[in-house]
Chain A
Amino acid sequence: MGGESGEILQRKQAAYTCLDEPFEIGNEKYGGQQYSQIYFARLHVAKTLLYSLIPLWKPELPVCTVLSLEEGKECVIVGTLYKHMKLKPRILDEYSKERSVIPLVKPHNFMDADDYLILEDEGGRVKLDGTVLLPSVYVTGVVVALLGKETTKGDFLVDEVLEAGLAPQIDRPLKLEEDKYVVFVSGLGVGNMTANPLQFQLLVDHITGHLGDEKEQHMAAQIVHVVIAGNSVEIPSEFFNGQNLASKDQSKLSDPIKELDILLTQIAAGLPLDIMPGPNDPTNFALPQQPLHRCLFPSSRVYNTFRSCTNPHCFELDKIKFLGTSGQNIEDMGKYSEAKGELEFMERTMNWRHMAPTTPNTLGCYPFTDRDPFLVESCPHVYFAGNQPKYDTSLLNGPEGQIVRLISIPKFCETGVAVMLNLRNLECHTISFEAEFS
């Protein structure tokens, strides 16, 4: 890189640590286990945590299990929420003989005014009542502590709710003096017929410092890392009809990936790059998605700056902790609960200390037996979700001084927007590209 004056711009660097280990399926062996195991692991860990918080919250009240509830006696219970939703698609509906009168599903999600919550612990389950715990806010799989009492009907009337809250956070290094940027982009959709391939090329050229004047190149030299959060390729759906492909079509199947490889090579030649898989990418579907195979990228894999990562992805740059997904967790919560925007869903997952509570109920995940990798044990400094409808960002402040930068990353192929994050102060802005053929 060099300006017109001949001055050589040195690209800045940041120390990188990959923390993807919990998301690697690697040595897991499937032995016919069911999803009860992951719920057991989740409930046990979250319950232990909540039990430690209850004495600070309601020191005077007894903690009960569902089976030991007594009518009218005020107590605290801890368990996993289950949301009963009559519009939720069920596999058995197809087989039911009578066509029941189920109201039509709304176009955007499966919520209904009659939805209600149930709390389950190791022993039993109880229907929850009251106006404090809103079914529209919660989803199946969240572990909470509830204060209330059993009613004559046998339901549990909830008076107060305790969520796990933000996990403890390691302090952010304060000595960072220089601006260093991380670029987030998702939904590149290489191979998408309607997207303009020039947009991504412009982004690549901008990142690598081949665009703009000296000032812009100065900016580009401060970019230390690129994260691609899922859905990098789009393979035309007509190839997924279960028919064998004609040999002339087989190249069409791999063309998007070849094109992506060429573009990624240009980035990887200049700076470190993490690519995470998303729901459209050629890897396993269930979370945690395993890294895209390196043989898909014959030319970019040569660079040690190229890293194919898991989804969810966790890493550190200059001791700043990043955690994020390609957006499936947030998208799925949008189908079964409501919020003002994606950031609110993200905020909730942080407060529940669980990235993807709807796994395994409505979102596919590997049936882990001894752990739940989506539990958030330590709070990240940056939490991102890819493939969201629009760009948005906010700062989430925790009671113990935790500060989390939330970023919802839009789909690049639709918006031409990538997100830049400054490591020094966690401030965020977008860069957008538009290219028109005249």
Chain B
Amino acid sequence: MMKSYYKQKKPNRSDAVGKPSKSIKKKSPAALITSPHGAPHLQEDVEKSEQVLREFDMNMAYGPCIGMTRMARWQRAQRLGLDPPGDVKNLLDSGKTETKSLWDDRV
């Protein structure tokens, strides 16, 4: 279900990247997809890792994501024995990704 949600919004991406500040202000769904700080040539890369992290954010098996950093949420899942995906941890450890969850500051 989430996959189709992202697919639907993808066509807007190139528009949104052009004027990131505006789209964030509007809080349009496209704003959730853009990564305002991503340099253009890194675009694909950031996009892919963000995608993985957002799917992690939206996975309710690991609990609510509001008000925690992604790392804290991953560690909680680990501690509770929920076996969170290792690639998420690797991405977060790389330090190149957004530390806050998808909905942070948006709700």
Contacts and interface: CB of A to CB of B under 8 A. Distances in A.
Do A and B actually bind?
Answer: yes
B61 A122 contact: yes
Given A48-B81, A122-B60, A33 B76 contact: no
Contacts of B63: 36-37, 40-41, 44
Contacts of A40: 63-64
Nearest to B69: A31
Given A44-B63, A122-B60, A37 B80 contact: no
Instruction: Describe B's contact surface by its main secondary structure.
Output: loop
Contacts of B67: 31-34, 37, 367, 369
Which of the four size classes fits the interface of chain B?
A: 10 to 19
A40 B60 CA distance: 10
Which of the four size classes fits the interface of chain A?
A: 10 to 19
A370 interface: yes
A286 interface: no
Contacts of B72: 369-370
A264 interface: no
Interface in A40-87: 40-41, 44-45, 48
A369 B66 CA distance: 10
Interface in B19-74: 60-61, 63-64, 66-69, 72
A45 B75 CA distance: 15
B79 A34 contact: no
Interface in A257-310: none
What are the 7 closest A-B residue pairs judged by CB atoms, nearest first?
Answer: A33-B67, A40-B63, A370-B76, A36-B64, A32-B67, A31-B67, A369-B68
Given A369-B76, A370-B80, 11 more contacts: A32-B67, A33-B67, A34-B66, A34-B67, A37-B63, A41-B76, A44-B63, A48-B81, A122-B61, A367-B67, A369-B67
7 contacts: A31-B67, A32-B104, A36-B63, A37-B68, A40-B63, A370-B72, A370-B75
